[in-house]
Amino acid sequence: MEILEIYLDNTQIFDWVNWDDYTQEISREDSIKTFAVQVTSTFRFTGDGYKFILDKLNELGPCATISAKVVYRPSESSSEMILEGTIFTNSLNYKLENSGVECIVECKIEDNAFGRFIIGNQDAEFFIGQGISLTGVPYTGATPIDLTMFDPEDDTDISGNRRVYDVKDAILDIVEALSGDDIVFSSSWYDALPDDERYCVTIGSNIRLLTQSDPYISFRAIVSELQKKYNLWLFSARIDGVNTIKLEQEDFITQFEEIVLNDVRDIDVSFDESKFYSTVNVGSTEFIRDDEGKQFNPSDTTETFPFMSNFPYVPLVTHIEELFNVESECSAGSSLDLISQWVIDHNVILKVVKEANDEYDDDTFLIQYDRTTNRATPEILLEGVNPFGIGKTYQYNGQIINERVVDRWRFQGDITNNFVDTTDKFRIGTSNSSPLQPDDFEWNPTPMDLDSPLPLFNDNNRWDTTNYEFLVQETGVYRFDGEILYEIVSNASALNGILASWIYEYSPTGIFINKTLMGVGGVSGTGNSSIDFFDQPAYLHKNNIAVWVNRIDWPSPAVGLSWRFVNSFGGDDTVLELKNTVTTGDFTEEQSANTLFSQRMQFQHAIDSQTWLDMVQNPARGISIVNDVYNGRAEIAKGWPKKISINFVTGMAQWDLITNIDQEAFSP
């Protein structure tokens, strides 16, 4: 008895001549972040199969479809459908009847779980919420949400509701437009996000004018935006008879539950070079860069930052497009693209919602929101930039700033844009406290002249203790971490201000080149003439910055450090005393290449049909290899599917697994 049967439009076909070549595959595609079970066989029919298919072609034409089902029947009393798919008549290849050779037709069968509906139509665009399918059939579309925006100055509501859609609802809408009820979509990753870390999608005109327009997007576009920010994978399989698509983080496809393979022989080990990135691009194509933290009102030139609603540029702490190198000796020349094509940048959102700028009316926006309140989620990423009231500035899309996005991916080395190894580090201090200063003062450079005793040091005398400058020897990016210990004396009834820090760059002849905002910190306190703030605990202001210095442009450039205190209350009798240390450091913490899932193991090994069917139900499980060793039987390796291809009839499988060098790092 043949163990495989095929049905076309629910009619059993007997002249399936290559049924014993039927091949299924579990495949992980790193480039497009998909993990799917699919059929790779070409189906060949003669006799009744040839006639059935050609009759359909002649009747319906080249733009028709034929439903197909493959059934596994291990015995007369048991059976299981292992493929439900579609034949597209425009993909047929056949011998013309009466041409002197055997009549045979060849075709592919696209599975209904992924290939037919999603891959084939992933660029088809739909108006979210309007409920019109790819074939023109109406359905119940997603329900819009009335989103409340906030003012970054004080976290108060901005009037008016914006029409948006939750991203999961939008994906469900598109999946139904593509497949009807044939596919079930879910995402345990998204469902587990905190309420205030959900995302919604809309267009710029809805934010600016409160229009009721719907975004026009494709499955590929919305999934790609989320994949880049959270390292997500599309997982497709037929689970318990249901065609299923899941959007999950990588640990979902590297699960602990294992299938054991016994006595595997001749295992080839190599490395997947594509996992060793040379560079990473992160951020958004649409952004507004603010190098000095300018206030929202462009007519105010006082630089006292009364309301710093814009997000100042600090490396990795914005949504600006940035390119970073991966420090490693084993980079393969590939680049990881994490750039959003949609608008996510805080400053762009602010420009639309507060300035009513129409430049972005047709752009798609992705906004973090709280699903319990239907309000955009504010987050404080810089302290003290608003000196009034609570002294804080609130930002949009805090969970997808570049630093957090990069942290969700694996690299074989530090993330930096250095082209040199900055080994000459220093920790510098002051020999004396600075003079007492009135409010709104600035001096340059800060007099830091001590490089000993420990913990102060000055590798290779990189810090000039006379001119208070860092001497740049190589082109590259340098990171400066600063700590300023300051104490406040004031006779005012209240003191609120900000300590804003810059790095100033000068040419060897002392000509000013550039200044870069280093960070901001809050200063606050209360008192009267009977209280001396020197008796109160000192405040500690910490910040850091990375500065690009090009030695080709300036033969012997130096970088000086300066701090400016901007006070909003107090008056002339408010004074500030500074004590300081500055340290250079690495751009990010080192990562281990042993956890990249870059090692590959390839071999042949047969398994029985039932084991394969169990794997297909959950193809993301780990594979454990157990062989004889000198002291008995033991696990010699373990990994996860990269590509596993099996001839369903013979049971022989080609295995390509991914794993970590460090077997203790089995957990992703």
Rounded CA gap, 656 and 76, in Å?
Answer: 34
In this structure, the answer to whether residues 433 and 514 fall within a common structural domain is yes
Considering 584, 612, 634, which residue would you say is the last residue of a domain?
Answer: 584
Q: In this predicted model, what pLDDT tens digit does every residue of 421-469 receive, in sequence order?
A: 445 677 777 765 555 555 555 545 566 778 888 777 888 887 788 877 7
What beta strand segments (E) does 311-440 contain?
322-326, 334-340, 364-370, 375-376, 379-383, 392-395, 415-416, 426-429
In this structure, the answer to whether residues 580 and 597 fall within a common structural domain is no
* Helices 219-230 and 167-179, axial angle in degrees (round to 10): 140
CATH code: domain of residue 639: 2.30.130
Please state whether the peptide bond connecting residue 152 to the residue before it is cis, i.e. omega within 30 degrees of 0. no
Residue 5 CB neighbours (<10 A):
18
In this structure, the answer to whether residues 602 and 573 fall within a common structural domain is no
Kindly state whether residue 290 falls inside one of the protein's structural domains: no
Residue 391 gets which letter from DSSP?
A: -
The confidence score (pLDDT) of residue 520 equals 53
Are the CB atoms for 520 and 556 separated by under 8 Å?
no
* Owning domain of residue 545: 418-584
CA distances from 63 to 57, 90, 320 (A): 9, 6, 46
CATH code: domain of residue 422: 2.60.120
The confidence score (pLDDT) of residue 471 equals 72
Could you tell me how many residues make up the chain?
668
Residue 660 gets which letter from DSSP?
A: -
The confidence score (pLDDT) of residue 172 equals 95
In this structure, the answer to whether residues 552 and 645 fall within a common structural domain is no
Kindly state whether residue 300 falls inside one of the protein's structural domains: no
The confidence score (pLDDT) of residue 318 equals 84
pTM: 0.74
> CA nearest 360: which of 375, 377, 341?
341
In this structure, the answer to whether residues 505 and 614 fall within a common structural domain is no
| Residue 625 CB-density burial (10 A; 0-12 exposed, 13-18 middle, 19+ buried) | buried
Helix (H) or strand (E) holding 656: strand 652-659
In this structure, the answer to whether residues 603 and 486 fall within a common structural domain is no
Kindly state whether residue 561 falls inside one of the protein's structural domains: yes
- Residue 162, by phi and psi: left (phi above 0), alpha (psi -120 to 50) or beta? beta
The confidence score (pLDDT) of residue 288 equals 87
Considering 62, 88, 111, which residue would you say is the last residue of a domain?
Answer: 111
Question: How many domains does the chain contain in total?
Answer: 3
Rounded CA gap, 218 and 70, in Å?
Answer: 31
In this structure, the answer to whether residues 12 and 100 fall within a common structural domain is yes
The confidence score (pLDDT) of residue 28 equals 86
Which residues in the chain land under pLDDT 70? Answer: 1-2, 113-117, 255-256, 291-315, 332, 382-393, 416-424, 431-447, 473-596, 661-668
Kindly state whether residue 423 falls inside one of the protein's structural domains: yes
Helix (H, G, I), strand (E, B) or coil at 225: helix
In this structure, the answer to whether residues 570 and 428 fall within a common structural domain is yes
